[in-house]
């Protein structure tokens, strides 16, 4: 596997593959790779002739300077893992390669960004996500790009951007990969103190309580998928988290495409949650339905 640092190098490599009729897949990451990332690399390997893993800790999407400074940077390990999962290229540009002097353009997606992560991390967070993903698509020109379901609102933002800007890339989403005890894999998990690791399971417990309450209501009472039933399910989820000593920043039922709150289960719904566990902010989500 090659490690490339410049846009010109990546474009040259992609051009050669395209000349032979090959398909190019991109897995955008900020490094600190774990099995969630590697599952996406393996998906791309099955679909594509050239698999590019980008590694760029994007300063534009961090609202807190301390979070950016503490984000793990493990390029040598990441390169080894990416190669083992089937990547052909690791694209690891410097900040100046992505945001050169005089850079003055921002991609902003409205609507889907307004609540939940957008509200708690600030509007600049998704501006940074949309801008860097748009740039990666322009740099690499992939046929397919791979994202994880754990970052569901980010996926919705990227899909909206691709649709609105007619970008010639297909978005594919891999399922959330979890630890054996149910904790969603995240690069931030390594920062959990030992005493907080068990408490981190509260996020999955809250999501499970939402789903269980909806299903119990659907089995035993009319209207369980209406507004009152959904409110009861969310309250059950919040209480499940509080019983483990964690207060959610938000726990809600949303439309997975628009991220607007849902008032019934007549269509797809996603339970989404975020919370700080010790010094670490975690997110998770789970599709929900009225019956098993």
For 61-98, the pLDDT digits (tens) are 987 777 788 788 899 999 999 999 999 999 999 999 99
Q: Look at residue 292 and tell me whether its pLDDT is greater than 60.
A: no
For the chain, percent of residues with pLDDT exceeding 90? 89
Q: Write down the mean pLDDT value for the chain.
A: 94
Would you say 66 is a known binding-site residue?
A: no
| pLDDT score, position 290 | 74
185 is in an annotated binding site: yes
3-state secondary structure the chain: CEEECCHHHHHHHHHHHHHCCCCEEEEEECCCCCHHHHHHHHHHHHHCCEEEEEECCCHHHCCCHHHHHHCCCCHHHHHHHHHHHCCCEEECCCHHHHCCCCCCCCCCCCCCCCCCHHHHHCHHHHHHHHHHHHHHHHHHCCCEEEEEHHHHHHHHHHHHHHHHCCCCCEEEEECCCECCCCCECCHHHHHCCHHHHCHHHHHHHHHHHHHHHHHHHHHHCCCCCCHHHHHHHHHHHHHHHHCCCCCEEEEEEECCCCCCECCCCCCCEEEEEEEEECCEEEEEEEEECCCC
pLDDT at 71: 84
pLDDT at position 222 is 46
Average pLDDT, integer, range 183-187: 96
**Is 120 annotated for ligand binding?**
no
List the structure tokens of 85: 């999962």
H/E element, 285: strand 280-288
Q: Is 125 a catalytic residue?
A: no
Domains, the chain, in order of start with CATH, read 2-174 (3.40.50.620), 187-288 (3.30.1300.10)
Rounded to an integer, the average pLDDT of 260-276 is 96
Q: How high is the pLDDT of residue 39?
A: 98
**Local confidence band at 266 (pLDDT 50, 70, 90 cut-offs):** very high
- Catalytic residue, candidates 37, 115, 120, 125: 37
| Digit-coded pLDDT (tens) for 5-36 | 999 999 999 999 999 999 999 999 999 999 99
* pLDDT tens profile 202-232: 999 999 999 999 999 865 444 455 678 899 9
Q: Is pLDDT above 70 for 283?
A: yes
The more confident residue out of 260 and 290 is: 260
How many angstroms separate the CA atoms of 128 and 136, rounded?
12
Question: Is 211 marked within a binding site?
Answer: no
19 is in an annotated binding site: no
């Amino acid at each position: 596997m090659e490690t490339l640092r410049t846009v010109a190098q990546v474009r040259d490599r992609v051009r050669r593959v395209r000349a032979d009729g090959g398909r190019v897949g991109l897995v955008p990451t900020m490094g600190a790779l774990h099995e969630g990332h590697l599952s996406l690399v393996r998906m791309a390997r099955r679909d594509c002739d050239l698999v590019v893993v980008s590694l760029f800790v994007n300063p534009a999407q961090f609202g807190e300077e301390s979070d950016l400074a503490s984000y793990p940077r493990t390029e040598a390990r990441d390169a080894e893992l990416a190669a083992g999962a089937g990547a052909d290229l690791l694209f690891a540009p410097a900040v100046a390669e992505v945001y050169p002097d005089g850079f003055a353009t921002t991609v902003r997606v409205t609507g889907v960004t307004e609540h939940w992560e957008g509200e708690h991390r600030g509007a600049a967070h998704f501006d940074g996500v949309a801008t860097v993903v748009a740039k990666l698509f322009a740099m690499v020109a992939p046929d397919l790009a791979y994202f994880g379901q754990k970052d569901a609102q980010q996926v919705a933002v990227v899909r909206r951007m691709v649709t609105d800007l007619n970008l010639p890339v297909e978005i594919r989403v891999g399922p959330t990969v979890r630890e054996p005890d149910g904790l969603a894999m995240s690069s931030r998990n390594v920062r959990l103190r030992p005493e907080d690791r068990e408490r981190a399971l509260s996020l999955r417990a809250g999501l499970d309580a939402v789903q269980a309450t909806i299903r119990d209501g659907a089995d035993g009472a009319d209207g369980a998928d209406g507004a009152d039933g959904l409110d009861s399910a969310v309250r059950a989820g919040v209480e499940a988290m509080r019983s483990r000593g964690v207060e959610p920043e938000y726990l809600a039922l949303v439309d997975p495409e628009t991220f607007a709150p849902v008032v019934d289960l007549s269509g797809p719904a996603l339970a989404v949650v975020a919370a700080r566990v010790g010094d670490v902010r975690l997110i998770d989500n789970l599709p929900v339905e009225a019956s098993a």
